Amino acid sequence: MPLSNTQYDEIIRTYDARQLRNKREQEKKLRYAYQKIPRLREIDDAIASCSVAQAKKMLGGDALALSDLKAQIANYRAEKQELLTRYDFPDDYFEPSYTCRDCKDTGFIDGKRCHCFRQAAIDLIYAQSNLKEILIKENFSTFSFEYYSDTQVNPATGLTSLETAKDAVAKCKDFIRHFDDEFSNLYFYGDTGIGKTFLSNCVAKELMDSGHSVIYFTAFQLFDILSKGVFEKDEDAVAAHRNIFTCDLLIIDDLGTELANSFTTSQLFLCLNERILRKKSTVISTNLGMTQLADIYSERILSRISSYYTLIKLFGDDIRILKRNR
């Protein structure tokens, strides 16, 4: 994710603070262990002393110094482990408690940004905490089929509302399962209140949990960011604009609710086309069917979506109304 210098420094400060906190926690645990088991301090001092002594021997040409050092340290460590067990300390007592065990709170793995760093960039720029709070309530574990009728049939497909919903969930899970090895996109459409945004959030939750960078926008928010990237040249606006094209998954919710004009049409095409060229997946939810999509935007946008997106039409009663009436 492209970041401005200010944004990058802010994230690095967060990692520095984590490392400092980890170090202080380790020192606190060590002091406690020394207090409970004084012999542990003696062992650590002995390890330091023998390391220095054997290093001098190695510099003096002693070929056995290194193997002797390894043997001594192994004996000391075995004694430490025995003491910890005897005094009911857990085996991993001296292991650091990392926020991210993959990068050990450095933000990098083999010189590349860790998945936690990439998501930190998303969180910083787009206030994804709002989305995260929603995802606690809206995910596959809370998704329910009880609001989809098993008698209401779509004459176009011959499937009931329930069968359609189950098929949609299956396609979402297949999209997630093959996310890293098959480029694909999702287009949810249908009437208001039938679960399009909920399913988008389910997909977002699964991919964020697996370390992918996810950006969620309503259509209005998306076009606001795109306009700032075009007309405002400050560093943060440019970085935010670029991130739309580079995140692993972009979610555009309620497409068609914004004020459509020539600018939004051109920017939507640019966004969708650029992400297709980069093989970056996009999920769109909207009330617009294919004919309406072409009428409001353009045949070019319809062509891109028809060619590169899995179309998922949901139908049924408004779930919000059903919940209120229960």
Give the separation between CA 77 and CA 72, rounded to whole angstroms. 9
Q: pLDDT at position 251, please? A: 95
pLDDT in tens, 74-100: 999 899 889 999 999 988 888 888 899
pLDDT in tens, 190-247: 999 999 999 999 999 998 888 788 889 999 989 988 887 666 666 666 667 778 898 8
Give the separation between CA 235 and CA 7, rounded to whole angstroms. 10
Mean local confidence (pLDDT), 264-279: 95
Give the separation between CA 183 and CA 283, rounded to whole angstroms. 12
pLDDT in tens, 154-186: 998 999 999 999 999 999 999 999 999 999 999
Give the separation between CA 196 and CA 288, rounded to whole angstroms. 12
Give the separation between CA 144 and CA 267, rounded to whole angstroms. 36
Do strands 185-189 and 309-313 pair parallel, antiparallel, or not at all (unpaired)? parallel
Give the separation between CA 117 and CA 14, rounded to whole angstroms. 10
Instruction: Supply the DSSP symbol for 210.
Output: T
For the chain, counts of helices (H) and of strands (E): 13, 7
Q: Band of the pLDDT at 314, cuts 50, 70, 90? A: very high
Give the separation between CA 134 and CA 129, rounded to whole angstroms. 9
Q: Where are the alpha helices (DSSP H) in 160-218?
A: 161-177, 196-209
Q: Band of the pLDDT at 129, cuts 50, 70, 90? A: very low
